[in-house]
Amino acid sequence: MRTVAVLTGTRADYGLLRGLLRELRADPAVRLRLLVTGTHLSEGFGRTASEIERDGFDIDASVPIWSGEDGPVDAAADVGGAIPSYARVLAEMDPDVLVLLGDRLEAFAAATAATILSIPVAHIHGGELTEGAMDDALRHSITKMSYLHFTSTEDHRRRVVQLGEEPDRVFFHGAPIVDALAELDLLPREEVERRFGVRLPTPTALMTFHPAVMDVASPLRIVDELLAALTSIEDLHVVITGSNSDIGTADVRSRLAEFVAAHPERTDFVESFGQLGYLSAMRAASVVVGNSSSTVLEAPVLGVPSVVIGDRQRGRPLAASVSSPPVDRGSIQRALRDALAGGPATAGAEVFGAPGFARRTAQTLRDHDIPRPPRKTFHDLEGDTRR
């Protein structure tokens, strides 16, 4: 029996991992071990571990790592403290492979701990680009610490191979979000309004903004320009979701709270919808706006126009329904008006593959040879004579 450990640190990555967790739990040849960490354990961010428990998963280890401070030095110190915390849990679990998704500091610290312990890592969503955030460097670092790779597009698969990973360890099984959308029975507009206490009139903008320290401008300047653009459009209702635990989050969350308090007649705030609620609210929205990856992934797949602000998602493929205006309120306002005038977009999920990511990935995790220690050779691209 192969022991597969899976780490989840945020509401977003859990929504993408849930299908895979179900497949692994149902496989008699697999022993699933679930590590819960990050903002899942924070009351201030909605303690979304409760969603995991409601879904019936056993949490094998809860690993708190964040101090509650959000400065760069604080984040660096928290990551340094997270590595031994993860190492102790992983040493006790002794899994055959650790599954990580994405590019956040939680995943980077866990990958570092696993590498030091010679525990193989399987990485989901490698090979992508987010040039306006430190996540870009973290993601590629996790790729180099990982043995198996599951990418969301063929282009991302080629990029992981370009980073020196052997092609037979890099798989394009489709993107997890395609599975999630295929299996979810989204809530009708009225049920979203009732369940979460929000209003979703037409038009409504669904907004999520996360600070990014390497962005084109400071997080506060970007969020101020965005909020000014939103308020300048008469009759536009705005539903805002909570920010991630990132450097600069406290200031951004304070600014958003001030905005909601100043405009109660046309704004609602939800700390965490959960995946079902968020995607249901997105389908009911007229436009999705901010710098979350959902502006360039979930919104296009659902056929909802979106406006992505700043450089946090720069480098990702953009569908025709996604606009990326300069960071000034006039440009953002024009992009929002164009998106609202254009109406629903044509859904486009082809680049992300067909449903079945969870099933295919679970089979690979179960059956693929995963040596320990996970020794690798660097795969040089043929014909590249540069030195």
What is the pLDDT tens value at each position of the chain, 387 positions in all?
Answer: 999 999 999 888 998 999 999 999 999 999 999 999 998 998 787 788 999 999 999 999 999 998 888 888 999 999 999 999 999 999 999 999 999 999 999 999 999 999 999 999 999 999 998 877 788 899 999 999 999 999 999 999 999 999 999 999 999 998 898 888 888 899 999 999 999 999 999 999 999 999 987 888 999 999 999 999 999 999 999 999 998 877 888 999 999 999 999 999 999 999 989 889 999 999 999 999 999 989 988 898 889 999 999 998 888 888 889 999 999 999 999 999 999 998 777 665 567 888 899 999 999 999 999 999 999 999 999 765 443
Residue 275: exposed, middle, or buried by beta-carbon count in 10 A (0-12, 13-18, 19+)?
A: buried
The pLDDT of residue 251 is 92
Rounded Cα distance between 181 and 302, Å, is 8
| CB 51, CB 81: distance < 8 Å | no
Q: What is the pLDDT of residues 355-382, one digit of tens each?
A: 899 999 999 999 999 999 999 999 999 7
Rounded Cα distance between 334 and 323, Å, is 10
Helices 135-144 and 105-116 cross at an angle (nearest 10°) of 20
State whether residue 170 is helix, strand or coil. Answer: strand
| CB 335, CB 353: distance < 8 Å | no
- Of 168, 119, 109, the residue nearest 141 (C-alpha): 109
Rounded Cα distance between 78 and 76, Å, is 5
C-alpha radius of gyration, the chain, whole number: 20
CA distances from 27 to 17, 22, 120 (A): 16, 9, 20
What pTM was computed for the model? 0.78
Chain position carrying tokens 């990132």: 246
How many CB atoms lie under 10 A from the CB of residue 75? 21
Rounded Cα distance between 77 and 74, Å, is 5
